[in-house]
Amino acid sequence: MLTAVKPAGPSKSDIARGVFRRTPGISGESHRARRSRIRVKGNGSIRAVISSTGDKALEAASPLESKESTNGSLLSSGGGIEVRATVTVRKKMKEKITEKMEDQWEFFVNGFGQGILIHLISEEIDPVTNSGKSAESSVRGWLTRPLSNPRIVEYAANFTVPHDFGCPGAILVTNLHSKEFYLLEIVIHGFDEGPIFFPANTWIHSRKDNPESRIIFKNQAYLPSQTPPGIKDLRREDLLSIRGNGKGERKPHDRIYDYDLYNDLGNPDKDEDLARPVLGVEERPYPRRCRTGRPPTKSDPLSETRIEKPHPVYVPRDETFEEIKQNTFSAGRLKAVLHNLVPSIAATLSSSDISFKCFSDIDKLYNDGFLLKDDENKDIIEKLLVGKIVKQVMSIGQTLLKYETPAIIKRDRFAWLRDNEFARQSLAGVNPVNIEVLKEFPILSKLDPAVYGPPESAITKELIEQELNGLSVEKAIEDKRLFILDYHDMLLPFVKKINSLPNRKSYASRTVFFFTKTGFLRPIAIELSLPPTPSSPRNKHVYAHGHDATMHWTWKLAKAHVCSNDAGVHQLVNHWLRTHASMEPYIIATHRQLSSMHPIYKLLHPHMRYTLEINALARQSLINGGGVIEACFSPGRYAMELSSAAYKSLWRFDIDALPADLIRRGMAVEDPSMPCGVRLVIEDYPYAADGLLIWSAIQEWVESYVSHFYSEPNSVTSDLELQAWWDEIKNKGHHDKRNEPWWPKLNTKEDLHGILTIMIWIASGQHAAINFGQYPFGGYVPNRPTLLRRLIPKENDSDYHKFILNPQHTFLSSLPTQLQATKVMAVQDTLSTHSADEEYLGQMNLLHSHWINDHEVLKMFNKFSARLEEIEEIINERNKDSRLRNRSGAGVPPYELLLPSSGAGVTGRGIPNSISI
């Protein structure tokens, strides 16, 4: 007779209560040390078979016949409920013969029940043991039923449980193999409730790496107070294991989330010139990153030793890129760009300071390409899927690198030269989040005048009014027709240091725009400032577009400096800091404080995918000392210090809300009659107009979701996990800002859905708007140079005569070198590319289709998805509207960065769920 089998070793009450603790020193972190010693006793009284289709009767696992009860349960002849667990595993993408042999050995081991043990835990308490009822079995079998995906394997295990077992709420999985495997889900068949889904989508570590079993909860969302008694201890214990103890170096198989400073950007042990200050201290505040626990450097005990390419930086195991992304996109592709393509470009362009001699040199990058003379990396470079970059093998040791024509010059190669395009990109470009309404005049700096000179701008009232067609400055300000792009206070403290670097020249800039009656934004004055000197205490110069040839070229150079500043602020502040770095603490806190059963965890989970991995890769190769950002962007080695200064003076969680940010910048005014409660000052502001549509859709979805789970008074304040989550975000994740008064309270469901809407907007719409246009706008160097190498010549300068004789040469020699330009183009192309496995806002990955067992929530999600489809149609119609000149017209690329869907590659559209590149 089939019966429930008692475990060998620990009692089921011990297991359910989680009383076993890991032996100190084993991976340093766990709380379920002996659970993996569970064994199935007896002479085959429990058997497992490969699952058959659907809910058919079990294959014969013993000579005993089963019969079906009147209520649909499968009964053994002894009166228990016979239950089948279908275990779905995803194989790795493998090519090596040895790995295929290992696969066959795994099948063989599983066939004898020695590979995977699973332990079923009921939601109900056993009155004898005062813990969750339990039963255990092992996976068996060598064959699988035919599946459409050859990488998916299904196994099964059989249980017989008593009639009063109750509904299972958790499964403990023990991996007896010598290596990890990827568990997609476990489905339990045979209970009255019908199939019960346990979505996993996780790596199950080998017991030799970590002796504790993994806990997988079913797809039912429970607030902490609603947790069934049989699995309450497991909920707490799972969170404890994820938090770790803050000690030891993390191992690749670990699944531990903790915080640390940005103390791994420099490499002083390799070269003292690569030493970088720690970010996240009082004088240089910063959000926290995921802790890796590496030892300190020998040269600087405050800095952490680095893991250099191509070795991976630790992130918790489930945060790493899935293989389809590794093989077809990011880990393989971005690393190949950084580790192979960029060095190959450097080897080909043997001199690092070769300038573009003429504009046709730039055009050749798209029309002709250039040969890479690097036989060693040829095969890797050929296989790179760098957007639409075309590569062809010309001969042995030579590869043709040919860039796709960027969108900004595809329709009109001279668009970048025009003032209206320069202004349009402040509203519809890759960085449309810095333009503000000019609220007062004169324009004043908030910097210390004793250090940085007089606070008044050199842009005078008379100069502006020359461009206002008879309108006074006061009237233009009152009518909200003057706008400013102001990088003066952010950049001036760094200009002297930047200009001391070789071949770097920078100003602090202000640009004033006038909104004409015809609906155009027109730049009318640019102020470029250098730090004051004894001979020039007011070291500011104002440029305007003039009618003579010299003013035409100085105006063009001034715009180039503004674009360079804009590119640096975009990359280091708006892109990296405000999305990537700020999001990381939210992700860490969500894993540490919210159980995977928590409804808010389930809501946020799609918006956390891949972010820790891409951030770790950025710390390794992009924002690190000597990395691509330092090499190719104006601030150089001071890049991350500038980002820290912006965090200190500008970053606030509450104004990461799109409507609040627009109001802060004066680009919108409060209007309760309008959607989202705001009315745009410039109606034809594509980023804001489309962004508000996305924001409102997210807000409606989140509000309905939160209201569904928090329907009772005080349900938010009584949710201990939720309160600990928000407390940790403020006090640990953004520790340096913990005492700021602007942090939202978390007392009501309105507070909660406001906080969550901000987080989801940042991870999805905000990141999409400022990321996926990097190559379309920045791939043409003159449109958006990431650095400049010369100041604008003045009449008494030694090279002024050369400028007069050949202004084009002065302009081109001010741009990044050919090496700098091609390196940053390759990286921008990669950062602008969607992976083939991208998950977009409002879309559900089929592998996650059982994410929640709640029909009302699924109806809400389907409504959200339908609304995003409507928004896509609205945006497409807007892009056809000839009245909206910032998104349509001769040669004007349509504004598509906030179109929700996209295909793979550099598309200039699409909103992924998460910050995944």
Map 193-258 to HEC letters. CCCEEEEEEEEECECCCCCCCEEEECCCCCCHHHCCHHHHHHHHHHHHHHHCCCCCCCCCCCCCCC
Strands 678-680 and 833-834: unpaired
Q: What is the mean pLDDT of residues 501-522?
A: 95
Q: What angle do CA 234, 236, 237 make, to 5 degrees?
A: 60
The answer to whether residues 724 and 236 touch, using CB atoms and an 8 Å cutoff, is: no
At 393 the pLDDT is 37
At 146 the pLDDT is 56
pLDDT in tens, 129-144: 888 999 999 987 544 5
- 748 pLDDT above the threshold of 60: yes
Of 382-391, 430-439, 886-895, the range with the lowest mean pLDDT is: 382-391
At 507 the pLDDT is 98
390 strand-pairing partners: 402
Q: How confident is the model at residue 368 (pLDDT cuts 50, 70, 90)?
A: confident
Pairwise CA distance, residues 205 & 317, whole Å: 9
Q: How confident is the model at residue 343 (pLDDT cuts 50, 70, 90)?
A: low
The answer to whether residues 577 and 560 touch, using CB atoms and an 8 Å cutoff, is: no
Amino acid at site 726: W
Domains, in order of start, for the chain: 80-219 (2.60.60.20), 433-571 (3.10.450.60)
- 453 pLDDT above the threshold of 70: yes
- 76 pLDDT above the threshold of 80: no
Mean pLDDT across the chain: 86
Question: How far, rounded to the nearest angstrom, does the alpha carbon of residue 411 sit from its chain's CA centroid?
Answer: 31
The answer to whether residues 525 and 544 touch, using CB atoms and an 8 Å cutoff, is: yes
Of 67-81, 261-275, 405-419, 832-846, the range with the lowest mean pLDDT is: 67-81
Q: Which one is catalytic: 210, 219, 539, 771? A: 771
At 188 the pLDDT is 96
User: Where is pLDDT greater, at 631 or 21?
Assistant: 631
Active site residue 771: yes
User: Where is pLDDT greater, at 375 or 213?
Assistant: 213
Q: Which one is catalytic: 575, 598, 734, 834? A: 575
pTM: 0.89
Of the segments 79-83, 99-103, 287-291, which one has the largest average pLDDT value?
Answer: 287-291
At 96 the pLDDT is 61
Q: How confident is the model at residue 31 (pLDDT cuts 50, 70, 90)?
A: very low
Pairwise CA distance, residues 31 & 172, whole Å: 13
Q: How confident is the model at residue 2 (pLDDT cuts 50, 70, 90)?
A: very low
Q: What is the mean pLDDT of residues 251-279?
A: 96
Q: What is the mean pLDDT of residues 738-753?
A: 98
- 887 pLDDT above the threshold of 50: yes
pLDDT in tens, 756-785: 999 999 999 999 999 999 999 999 999 999
Q: What is the mean pLDDT of residues 641-652?
A: 98
The answer to whether residues 627 and 309 touch, using CB atoms and an 8 Å cutoff, is: no
DSSP annotation of 548: S
At 463 the pLDDT is 94
Q: What is the mean pLDDT of residues 337-346?
A: 61
Q: Which one is catalytic: 767, 770, 783, 911? A: 767
At 178 the pLDDT is 87
At 58 the pLDDT is 31
Q: How confident is the model at residue 6 (pLDDT cuts 50, 70, 90)?
A: very low
Active site residue 862: no
Q: How confident is the model at residue 90 (pLDDT cuts 50, 70, 90)?
A: confident
Angle between helices 720-728 and 582-593 (to 10 degrees): 150
User: Where is pLDDT greater, at 535 or 51?
Assistant: 535
Q: Which two tokens stand for residue 5?
A: 């089998």
Q: Which one is catalytic: 580, 591, 607, 734? A: 580
Q: Which residues 6+ apart lie within 8 Å of 837 measured at CB?
A: 322, 324, 325, 328, 329
At 414 the pLDDT is 94
The answer to whether residues 188 and 120 touch, using CB atoms and an 8 Å cutoff, is: yes
Q: What is the mean pLDDT of residues 256-281?
A: 96
Q: What is the largest CA-CA distance in the chain?
A: 103
User: Where is pLDDT greater, at 755 or 22?
Assistant: 755
SS3 327: helix
pLDDT in tens, 108-129: 666 556 789 999 999 999 888 8
Q: What is the mean pLDDT of residues 410-437?
A: 96
Q: Which residues 6+ apart lie within 8 Å of 682 measured at CB?
A: 427, 515, 521, 667
Angle between helices 807-814 and 549-569 (to 10 degrees): 10
- 53 pLDDT above the threshold of 60: no
Active site residue 580: yes
Percentage of the chain modeled with pLDDT above 70: 82
Of 380-384, 420-424, 837-841, the range with the lowest mean pLDDT is: 380-384
Cis peptide before 744 (omega within 30 of 0): no
- 858 pLDDT above the threshold of 60: yes
Q: Give backbone dihedrals phi and psi of 843, rounded to 5 degrees, phi first.
A: -110, 150
Give whole-number Cα distances, 415 to 181, 435, 891, in Å.
53, 20, 8
Of the segments 121-135, 205-219, 382-396, 823-837, which one has the largest average pLDDT value?
Answer: 205-219
- 538 pLDDT above the threshold of 70: yes
DSSP string of 1-66, one letter each residue: ---PPPPSSS-HHHHHHT---PPTTSTT--S-TTGGG----SSSSS------STTPPPP--SSSPP
Of 281-290, 327-336, 595-604, the range with the lowest mean pLDDT is: 327-336
Q: How confident is the model at residue 822 (pLDDT cuts 50, 70, 90)?
A: confident
Cis peptide before 285 (omega within 30 of 0): no
CA dihedral (826, 829, 831, 833) in degrees, to 10, reads -140
At 293 the pLDDT is 97
Q: How confident is the model at residue 150 (pLDDT cuts 50, 70, 90)?
A: confident
Pairwise CA distance, residues 322 & 324, whole Å: 6
For residues 27-41, one letter each, b for 16 or more C-beta atoms within 10 angstroms of the residue's C-beta and e for the rest, the string is bbbbbbbbbbbbbbe
Percentage of the chain modeled with pLDDT above 90: 70
Pairwise CA distance, residues 690 & 756, whole Å: 20
pLDDT in tens, 672-705: 999 899 999 999 999 999 999 999 999 999 999 9
Q: Which two tokens stand for residue 71?
A: 């209520």
